[in-house]
Amino acid sequence: MEKRKALITAVLFLFTAAGLFGQSSPRKIRMNLWALQDAYPGSYTAETEEFQYAKRQIADLSSLLLSGMCYGWKFTYTPYDKTRNVPESFECTPIKTFDGDAKNIWYEEPVFKQDKISVWVNFIRTPQMLKYYERWSAIKNPRVMGSGKGKLSAGFEGMTQAASAAVRNGIREYYRKVVKNKPKVITGTILIRKVPAIYIDSGNYVVDLDFFLETDKIVEYTQF
Protein backbone atom coordinates (compact mmCIF):
# COMPACT_ATOMS: atom_id res chain seq x y z
CA MET A 1 0.00 0.00 0.00
CA GLU A 2 2.84 2.38 0.88
CA LYS A 3 4.51 1.67 -2.45
CA ARG A 4 1.25 2.38 -4.21
CA LYS A 5 0.85 5.67 -2.32
CA ALA A 6 4.32 6.70 -3.42
CA LEU A 7 3.29 6.32 -7.04
CA ILE A 8 0.25 8.58 -6.70
CA THR A 9 1.16 12.10 -7.73
CA ALA A 10 -0.21 15.35 -6.42
CA VAL A 11 -2.31 16.03 -9.50
CA LEU A 12 -5.53 14.87 -11.05
CA PHE A 13 -4.94 13.86 -14.65
CA LEU A 14 -7.80 13.30 -17.09
CA PHE A 15 -6.89 12.35 -20.63
CA THR A 16 -8.62 11.71 -23.94
CA ALA A 17 -7.10 11.63 -27.38
CA ALA A 18 -8.58 11.56 -30.83
CA GLY A 19 -8.06 8.46 -32.96
CA LEU A 20 -6.39 5.92 -30.69
CA PHE A 21 -8.36 7.01 -27.62
CA GLY A 22 -11.75 7.72 -29.17
CA GLN A 23 -14.05 6.87 -32.02
CA SER A 24 -17.07 9.02 -32.63
CA SER A 25 -19.77 8.56 -35.27
CA PRO A 26 -22.85 10.69 -35.83
CA ARG A 27 -24.93 8.23 -33.82
CA LYS A 28 -22.52 6.72 -31.28
CA ILE A 29 -19.88 8.52 -29.28
CA ARG A 30 -17.14 6.38 -27.77
CA MET A 31 -14.10 7.76 -25.99
CA ASN A 32 -11.47 6.48 -23.61
CA LEU A 33 -11.00 8.52 -20.43
CA TRP A 34 -8.61 7.87 -17.60
CA ALA A 35 -7.86 9.59 -14.32
CA LEU A 36 -4.65 9.65 -12.35
CA GLN A 37 -5.79 9.62 -8.75
CA ASP A 38 -4.45 12.32 -6.46
CA ALA A 39 -4.36 11.29 -2.84
CA TYR A 40 -2.27 12.86 -0.11
CA PRO A 41 -1.29 10.34 2.53
CA GLY A 42 -4.22 9.73 4.83
CA SER A 43 -6.76 11.36 2.54
CA TYR A 44 -8.57 8.09 1.93
CA THR A 45 -9.28 5.13 4.17
CA ALA A 46 -9.41 2.49 1.42
CA GLU A 47 -8.31 1.98 -2.16
CA THR A 48 -11.92 1.68 -3.28
CA GLU A 49 -12.62 5.15 -1.92
CA GLU A 50 -9.64 6.53 -3.83
CA PHE A 51 -11.01 5.19 -7.07
CA GLN A 52 -14.45 6.58 -6.29
CA TYR A 53 -12.91 10.05 -6.47
CA ALA A 54 -11.33 9.30 -9.85
CA LYS A 55 -14.60 7.85 -11.16
CA ARG A 56 -16.47 11.03 -10.19
CA GLN A 57 -13.98 13.11 -12.15
CA ILE A 58 -14.41 10.87 -15.20
CA ALA A 59 -18.19 11.16 -14.89
CA ASP A 60 -17.97 14.98 -14.69
CA LEU A 61 -15.62 15.14 -17.67
CA SER A 62 -17.89 12.82 -19.66
CA SER A 63 -20.88 15.09 -19.08
CA LEU A 64 -18.89 18.23 -19.94
CA LEU A 65 -17.65 16.85 -23.25
CA LEU A 66 -20.93 15.22 -24.22
CA SER A 67 -22.84 18.44 -23.60
CA GLY A 68 -20.56 20.13 -26.12
CA MET A 69 -20.90 17.26 -28.62
CA CYS A 70 -24.68 16.79 -28.38
CA TYR A 71 -26.09 20.24 -27.51
CA GLY A 72 -23.24 22.68 -28.07
CA TRP A 73 -21.97 25.69 -26.14
CA LYS A 74 -22.98 29.34 -26.47
CA PHE A 75 -20.27 32.00 -26.45
CA THR A 76 -19.91 35.76 -26.20
CA TYR A 77 -16.58 37.19 -27.32
CA THR A 78 -15.28 40.75 -27.02
CA PRO A 79 -11.97 41.20 -28.89
CA TYR A 80 -9.17 43.20 -27.34
CA ASP A 81 -9.05 46.73 -28.73
CA LYS A 82 -6.06 48.80 -27.65
CA THR A 83 -7.21 52.05 -29.27
CA ARG A 84 -10.56 51.94 -27.45
CA ASN A 85 -9.05 50.60 -24.22
CA VAL A 86 -11.32 47.54 -24.39
CA PRO A 87 -9.95 44.37 -22.74
CA GLU A 88 -10.62 40.96 -24.23
CA SER A 89 -13.44 39.01 -22.59
CA PHE A 90 -14.97 35.63 -23.29
CA GLU A 91 -17.83 33.59 -21.87
CA CYS A 92 -18.76 30.08 -22.89
CA THR A 93 -21.64 28.10 -21.37
CA PRO A 94 -23.42 24.86 -22.25
CA ILE A 95 -26.70 25.27 -24.10
CA LYS A 96 -28.04 22.49 -21.92
CA THR A 97 -26.48 20.55 -19.08
CA PHE A 98 -26.08 16.83 -19.45
CA ASP A 99 -27.54 15.97 -16.06
CA GLY A 100 -30.72 14.43 -17.44
CA ASP A 101 -28.85 12.42 -20.07
CA ALA A 102 -26.07 11.12 -17.83
CA LYS A 103 -28.11 8.04 -16.95
CA ASN A 104 -27.76 6.91 -20.58
CA ILE A 105 -23.96 6.96 -20.50
CA TRP A 106 -22.43 3.54 -20.02
CA TYR A 107 -18.88 2.58 -19.16
CA GLU A 108 -16.98 -0.45 -20.41
CA GLU A 109 -13.66 -2.19 -19.89
CA PRO A 110 -12.50 -0.43 -16.71
CA VAL A 111 -8.82 -0.90 -15.99
CA PHE A 112 -7.45 -0.31 -12.49
CA LYS A 113 -3.72 0.23 -12.23
CA GLN A 114 -1.42 1.43 -9.50
CA ASP A 115 -2.20 5.10 -9.85
CA LYS A 116 -5.05 5.39 -12.33
CA ILE A 117 -8.35 4.14 -13.61
CA SER A 118 -9.28 4.12 -17.29
CA VAL A 119 -12.58 3.31 -18.94
CA TRP A 120 -14.39 3.47 -22.27
CA VAL A 121 -17.25 5.97 -22.19
CA ASN A 122 -20.19 5.32 -24.52
CA PHE A 123 -23.24 7.33 -25.46
CA ILE A 124 -25.88 6.97 -28.18
CA ARG A 125 -27.31 10.21 -29.51
CA THR A 126 -31.09 10.39 -29.36
CA PRO A 127 -32.95 10.87 -32.69
CA GLN A 128 -33.31 14.56 -31.82
CA MET A 129 -29.60 14.88 -31.08
CA LEU A 130 -28.75 13.09 -34.32
CA LYS A 131 -30.94 15.46 -36.34
CA TYR A 132 -29.27 18.39 -34.59
CA TYR A 133 -25.81 17.09 -35.50
CA GLU A 134 -26.86 16.41 -39.10
CA ARG A 135 -28.22 19.96 -39.39
CA TRP A 136 -24.89 21.37 -38.29
CA SER A 137 -23.11 19.21 -40.86
CA ALA A 138 -25.57 19.91 -43.68
CA ILE A 139 -25.46 23.71 -43.57
CA LYS A 140 -21.69 23.72 -43.96
CA ASN A 141 -20.82 25.51 -40.75
CA PRO A 142 -17.12 26.41 -40.61
CA ARG A 143 -14.92 23.79 -38.99
CA VAL A 144 -12.59 25.43 -36.47
CA MET A 145 -9.76 24.03 -34.38
CA GLY A 146 -8.47 25.56 -31.16
CA SER A 147 -6.17 24.71 -28.29
CA GLY A 148 -6.38 26.07 -24.74
CA LYS A 149 -4.69 25.72 -21.37
CA GLY A 150 -5.86 25.64 -17.75
CA LYS A 151 -3.89 25.42 -14.52
CA LEU A 152 -3.22 21.87 -13.34
CA SER A 153 -3.39 23.09 -9.75
CA ALA A 154 -7.03 24.11 -10.30
CA GLY A 155 -8.12 20.48 -10.72
CA PHE A 156 -11.30 19.91 -12.69
CA GLU A 157 -11.87 23.67 -12.90
CA GLY A 158 -8.57 23.86 -14.77
CA MET A 159 -9.97 21.38 -17.27
CA THR A 160 -13.06 23.53 -17.92
CA GLN A 161 -10.85 26.62 -18.22
CA ALA A 162 -8.74 24.85 -20.83
CA ALA A 163 -11.81 23.81 -22.83
CA SER A 164 -13.18 27.37 -22.75
CA ALA A 165 -9.80 28.76 -23.81
CA ALA A 166 -9.68 26.30 -26.71
CA VAL A 167 -13.01 27.67 -28.00
CA ARG A 168 -11.87 31.27 -27.48
CA ASN A 169 -8.57 30.78 -29.26
CA GLY A 170 -10.20 28.94 -32.14
CA ILE A 171 -12.87 31.56 -32.79
CA ARG A 172 -10.40 34.42 -32.28
CA GLU A 173 -8.21 33.13 -35.10
CA TYR A 174 -11.20 32.37 -37.31
CA TYR A 175 -12.78 35.82 -37.04
CA ARG A 176 -9.47 37.57 -37.53
CA LYS A 177 -9.44 36.07 -41.01
CA VAL A 178 -13.05 36.75 -41.98
CA VAL A 179 -13.92 40.07 -40.26
CA LYS A 180 -12.20 43.11 -41.72
CA ASN A 181 -12.80 45.61 -38.91
CA LYS A 182 -12.47 44.56 -35.29
CA PRO A 183 -16.04 44.14 -33.95
CA LYS A 184 -17.41 45.21 -30.59
CA VAL A 185 -18.78 41.81 -29.69
CA ILE A 186 -19.46 38.46 -31.34
CA THR A 187 -22.00 35.89 -30.17
CA GLY A 188 -22.46 32.41 -31.48
CA THR A 189 -22.64 28.67 -30.86
CA ILE A 190 -20.18 25.83 -31.26
CA LEU A 191 -20.73 22.09 -31.50
CA ILE A 192 -17.78 19.82 -30.77
CA ARG A 193 -17.19 17.73 -33.88
CA LYS A 194 -14.70 15.11 -32.66
CA VAL A 195 -13.55 13.54 -29.42
CA PRO A 196 -11.20 16.15 -27.90
CA ALA A 197 -7.55 15.54 -27.09
CA ILE A 198 -6.70 16.42 -23.49
CA TYR A 199 -3.22 16.18 -22.02
CA ILE A 200 -0.77 17.81 -19.61
CA ASP A 201 2.09 20.11 -20.58
CA SER A 202 4.30 22.18 -18.26
CA GLY A 203 1.89 22.20 -15.34
CA ASN A 204 -1.19 22.88 -17.45
CA TYR A 205 -4.08 20.93 -18.84
CA VAL A 206 -4.19 21.33 -22.61
CA VAL A 207 -7.42 20.78 -24.54
CA ASP A 208 -7.48 20.53 -28.33
CA LEU A 209 -10.95 20.97 -29.85
CA ASP A 210 -12.30 20.42 -33.34
CA PHE A 211 -15.70 22.10 -33.61
CA PHE A 212 -18.36 23.54 -35.87
CA LEU A 213 -18.95 27.28 -35.53
CA GLU A 214 -22.20 29.17 -36.03
CA THR A 215 -22.26 32.96 -35.79
CA ASP A 216 -25.33 34.45 -34.16
CA LYS A 217 -24.45 38.16 -34.24
CA ILE A 218 -21.50 40.45 -34.94
CA VAL A 219 -21.93 43.91 -33.39
CA GLU A 220 -19.80 46.63 -34.95
CA TYR A 221 -18.58 49.80 -33.28
CA THR A 222 -20.65 52.83 -34.30
CA GLN A 223 -17.72 55.25 -33.87
CA PHE A 224 -13.99 55.08 -34.51
pLDDT digits (tens, 9 = 90+) for 1-20: 443 433 333 333 444 443 33
What pTM does this model have? 0.81
Closest CA to 166 of 206, 194, 202: 206
Distance CA 96, CA 99 (A): 9
Q: Residue 98: pLDDT above 80?
A: yes
Helix (H, G, I), strand (E, B) or coil at 162: helix
Q: Residue 181: pLDDT above 50?
A: yes
Q: What is the DSSP letter of 141?
A: P
> pLDDT for 189-217, tens place per residue?
999 999 998 888 998 989 999 999 999 99
Q: What is the DSSP letter of 140?
A: T
